[in-house]
């Protein structure tokens, strides 16, 4: 009888331990690091990459912005037309808010490289072909020049194919990645630029080779991050520093497809933890570089250009929405892709359907194990009565 009771006790003990462990696990975060879906959802344009220029199709989407309530602004182009559309959540029907043609007028563009939006809803357009940035207030039919270089040379009040820009939220100063001049300049007004960094084109720590993206961390004394495209690296510059530090890719400028390498990083964005989400254009992928890491983490893209939900084709720009989902302008596929967060350490149990589903499953298992424990205990009691033991 003792052996039989010991067996029952052993089963009961194991089940109770499992139940306690599950309870502890469910009380912790669902996962230790953020995980994104491998397959994206197309939120604008054709999921199969079909080009078009109507309210449901896109043609070579250039720039994207995330607005209020995670609405998405998309700029695309079909010669000679430029337009910006607004896509509301759960709708693939765009609403045109800017519709114009190629030209030099203030209601026209010539080679749009980047777009931005401020907290007031003002839209900024980096018009590289006209060497300027124009500001469009909500509802406007024409832009206002806020950076006006008007020619392609290397004086501080001029630009040579500006590729990306950053608008300071409090001052409206505009930082510009001046591609062919291999420098970053800050414009204090429409006619005055000052050199921030860049001692010319090259591979040294104080040089760039075609800067294509930038981000200014205004919460950290205007620390500057630059996508040094043809040096295949991301450089970090403390404000006023004479040289930068490589924080992603190889400082030597060597390109590659390994996770500790980059190949033509066009643009990137930075989250509140100072992690870098890099549009690794030449590798058709998005990689995440955490602070202090020597290698990236693959978020999206297979490394091979394609139209599958897991693939990208010449991706151009990247943003994060309020949930941490990665939004990508998949330029070569004429679509905007959204890679949602499946799991995050900061995610509350009911903050996503995936996390909630996992938690519900855990609780169901926990309940069934409690039922099993009760059955085992009842069986023990019946067994003792039948065999006449008091143990």
Q: Average pLDDT for residues 383-390, to the nearest whole number? A: 60
Whether a cis peptide bond, with omega within 30° of 0, leads into 80 is yes
The tokens for 29 are 């975060």
What value does the mean pLDDT of the chain take?
88
Distance CA 146, CA 134 (A): 6
Distance CA 205, CA 345 (A): 35
Contacts of 340 (CB under 8 A, 6+ apart): 36, 37, 41, 323, 325
Structure confidence by residue, pLDDT tens digits, 199-253: 999 999 999 999 999 999 999 999 999 999 999 999 999 999 999 999 999 999 9
Least confident of 142-156, 180-194, 309-323: 142-156
Structure confidence by residue, pLDDT tens digits, 148-160: 876 777 788 899 9
Say whether pTM exceeds 0.75.
Answer: yes
């Amino acid at each position: 009888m003792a052996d039989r009771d010991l067996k029952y006790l052993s089963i009961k003990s194991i089940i109770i331990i499992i139940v306690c462990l599950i309870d502890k696990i469910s009380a912790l975060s669902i996962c230790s690091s953020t995980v994104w879906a491998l397959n994206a959802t197309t939120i604008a344009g054709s999921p199969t990459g079909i080009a078009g220029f109507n309210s449901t199709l896109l043609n070579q989407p250039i720039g994207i912005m995330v607005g209020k309530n995670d609405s998405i602004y998309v700029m695309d182009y079909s010669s000679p037309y430029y337009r910006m559309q607004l896509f509301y959540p759960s709708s693939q029907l765009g609403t045109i808010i800017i519709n114009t043609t190629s030209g030099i007028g203030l209601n026209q563009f010539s080679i749009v490289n980047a777009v931005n939006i401020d907290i007031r809803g003002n839209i900024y357009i980096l018009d590289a072909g006209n060497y300027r940035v124009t500001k469009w207030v909500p509802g406007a039919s024409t832009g206002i020049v806020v950076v006006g270089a008007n020619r392609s040379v290397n004086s501080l009040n001029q630009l040579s194919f500006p590729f990306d820009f950053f608008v300071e939220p409090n001052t409206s100063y505009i930082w510009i990645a001046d591609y062919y001049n291999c420098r970053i300049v800050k414009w204090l007004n429409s006619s005055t630029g000052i050199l921030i960094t860049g001692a010319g084109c090259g591979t040294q720590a104080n040089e760039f080779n075609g800067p294509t993206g930038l981000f200014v961390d205004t919460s950290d004394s205007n620390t500057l991050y630059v996508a040094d495209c043809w040096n295949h690296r991301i450089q970090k510059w403390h404000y006023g520093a004479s040289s930068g530090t490589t924080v992603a890719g190889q400082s030597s400028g060597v390109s590659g497809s390994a996770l500790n390498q980059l190949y033509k990083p066009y643009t990137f964005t930075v989250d509140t933890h100072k992690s870098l989400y890099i549009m690794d254009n030449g590798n058709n992928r998005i990689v995440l570089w955490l602070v202090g890491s020597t290698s990236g983490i693959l978020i999206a893209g297979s490394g091979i250009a394609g139209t599958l939900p897991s693939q990208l084709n010449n991706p151009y720009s990247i943003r994060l929405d309020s949930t941490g989902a990665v939004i990508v302008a998949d330029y070569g596929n004429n679509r905007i892709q959204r890679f949602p967060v499946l799991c995050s350490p900061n995610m509350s149990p009911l903050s996503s359907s995936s996390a909630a589903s996992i938690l519900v499953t855990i609780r169901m298992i926990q309940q069934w194990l409690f039922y099993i424990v009760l059955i085992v205990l009842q069986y023990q009691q019946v067994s003792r009565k039948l065999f006449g033991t008091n143990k």
